[in-house]
Amino acid sequence: MAIAPTATIANIAGCYPCIEAMYSNIYVKSNVAEIAAVRSKWIDQSISHNVFAQETSGKKLNDIYFAAWEKGLKTTYYLRTLGASQIEKSTLDA
């Protein structure tokens, strides 16, 4: 089964809600930073942890990074946003 470019499997034919819940969108998962922080306590080196955010307002990003720091997350790697992953599809008429 392939994941659609929208980061959800809801558009795949024959997808049942019980299956969709198992493959939820990364942008709705809120405890990913907490899991990485707990895991990093037993790792000598840092983890390349990507941060996924639906919106990129300064306050929202500040809240995300401050919460990650409070939980003990040592580093983050990339900031991924929903807008960057849903690029407008266009073609040139030849």
Q: What is the pLDDT of residues 23-40, one digit of tens each?
A: 665 555 567 777 787 887
Q: What is the pLDDT of residue 37?
A: 79
Distance CA 32, CA 73 (A): 11
Q: What is the pLDDT of residue 49?
A: 77
- Residue 10, pLDDT above cutoff 80: no
- Residue 66, pLDDT above cutoff 80: yes
Place of tokens 């990364």: 26
The full set of domain ranges for the chain reads: 1-25, 31-85
